[in-house]
Structure 1
Amino acid sequence: MAFIQTDTFTLRGYECDASGRMSLPALMNLMQESANRNAIDYGIGIADLGQKGFGWMLMRFCLRMHQYPRYGDTIQLMTYPTTVEKYFIHRDFRVLAEDGTLLADAGSIWLVFSIEKRSMVPLPDFIRQLSPPTNVDPLPTLPLKPDFQIVPFIPSETRPVEVGWLSIDQNQHVNNVAYVQWLIESINTDTLQTREIAEIDLVYRTESHWHDWLDVQTATETADMLLHRIVQTESGKEVILARSQWREN
């Protein structure tokens, strides 16, 4: 059986930024909640995997903001799997206004890891056998290795971050949304006050844990594009790579 998750949310004050727009971390948290509700219907929720010694890990995420909802607005969030492969499952998200206007959409790629070995494993059969909806129009498939991975990266700013307790999820590693908040917080003041993110494209490379020290790095690619890296301070190992596109408010 195929399932499409549809949730309705009215934006609360703590989900919005200083300008009254919904913040990207708040939106991503709601997306993650809806995704898990959808996964539960399929029998592959966080708890379902945990009982079998597995966990979900996000590998790719690309979010496009067409129009930001604001405080008090009611939005409809839809999510569903689109493709199931040997190692990856693809999931789309769509965010609609009350009048049906498309506010945002996102594509994502997820993998399963062994909790004991902390390493990726092929998707178990009970996941590979699920049936994605057929009455949807999937977003373009995200490349596993986007081109910004090989763009020369010369950081203009580096900020250290220590992983705190509230950044850790049930899989005992940093929640994927925490990284996005750190990336945004590292942007210069003028950009944050006069511009907004039109698109953010993320590659999650490895996990990090409580009390780890990370370096959040930013580089300018073009007038409208920033590149981001989060690396482990001690080893220099890449944790996340990203590109953000900005536009005037």
Structure 2
Amino acid sequence: MHNQLQQTVNARYHELDPHNRVRLPVIFAWLQEVGAEHALQLGVGLKDLKKLGLTWVLSRLTLELQRPIRGTEQVTVTTWPVTREGRFSIRDYLLTDQQGKDIGRATSSWAAINLKSRRPVNDSSIKPACTARKQSHTLFYFSLSCFSFWYFVSR
């Protein structure tokens, strides 16, 4: 894929649960950090939007895990922009282990808002280049807009 970024990440011991699995907020942070870095490289990062009086707001984050991420295993997070759906910019992610096997996939939905009015904007000038989206089944769902989540990963 073109227009993508890959970064290798791993959890620290205090980011693990009692069963030696990476805590979900840690995985969400990885996705947001890698996505933010990529947006910056594409010229649509927070610094770029701030110059326009705008910022990004995360609307939805959906994560599918084939298995838990254990201990301090290294994970490669790959991300790329997908498309715009109305006022939302969609970004996909792929998480793989050291052998290149899929651990999970994620999709996030972001809206650009005006910093003064706190209203969403529909500005095509912030649209990043897009690539084709891969379809997947959702085993795990987390929505920041509802502050709720479902967790289904076999142990």
Same fold (TM over 0.5): yes
Does residue 97 in structure 1 map to residue 97 in structure 2? yes
TM-score normalised over the length of structure 1: 0.56
Q: Deviations over 1:119-162 (max 9, x none)?
A: 1111x23212x32135xx4336x9xxxxxxxxxxxxxxxxxxxx
Question: What's the RMSD between the two structures over aligned residues?
Answer: 2.1
* Match for residue 135 of structure 2 among 123, 132, 139: 139
Please list, as runs of the form range in 1=range in 2, the aligned pairs for 1:187-206 lying within 5 A after superposition: 198-202=139-143, 204=145
- The answer for the alignment partner of 2:148 in structure 1 is 242
CA drift of 1:61 comes to 1.5
Between Structure 1 and Structure 2, whose CA radius of gyration is higher? 1
Compute the displacement of 1:113 (Å). Answer: 0.6
Which amino acid in structure 2 is aligned with residue 125 of structure 1? S
> SS in structure 2 opposite 1:72?
coil
Tell me how far apart the structure 1 counterparts of residues 135 and 41 of structure 2 sit (CA, whole Å): 22
After superposition, what is the alpha-carbon deviation per residue over 1:134-192, rounded to whole angstroms, capped at 9, x for unaligned?
Answer: 5xx4336x9xxxxxxxxxxxxxxxxxxxxxxxxxxxxxxxxxxxxxxxxxxxxxxxxxx
Map Cα deviations across residues 2-44 of structure 1 (whole Å, 9 max, x no partner). Answer: 5201001133212211211011100110110000111011101
| Equivalent residues in 2 for 1:20-99, closer than 5 Å | 20-99=20-99
Partners of 2:66 and 2:154 in 1: CA distance:
13
In 2: Cα distance, 1:115 partner to 1:77 partner: 30
Looking at structure 2, the residues matched to 35 and 4 of structure 1 have their Cα atoms a distance apart, in angstroms, of: 10
The residue that corresponds to 1:219 in the other structure is: none
- Aligned position for 1:156: none
State the partner residue of 1:173. Answer: none
Cα deviation digits, residues 52-81 of structure 1 (max 9, x gap): 110111112211121112222111001111
TM-score by length of 2: 0.88
- Contact 1:80/1:93 (<8 A) preserved: yes
Distance in 2 (alpha carbons) for counterparts of 1:105 and 1:7: 15
Query: For 2:70 and 2:153, how far apart are their aligned partners in 1?
Result: 17
Paired residues, what number?
A: 153
1:132–1:13: structure 2 CA closer, same or farther, 3 Å change rule?
A: same
Same amino acid, percent of matched pairs: 22
| C-alpha contact (below 8 Å) 1:202/1:242 kept by paired residues | yes
Name the CA distance, whole Å, in 2 between partners of 1:89 and 1:82: 8
Deviations 1:207-246 (A, max 9, x none): xxxxxxxxxxxxxxxxxxxxxxxxxxxxxxxxx2534143
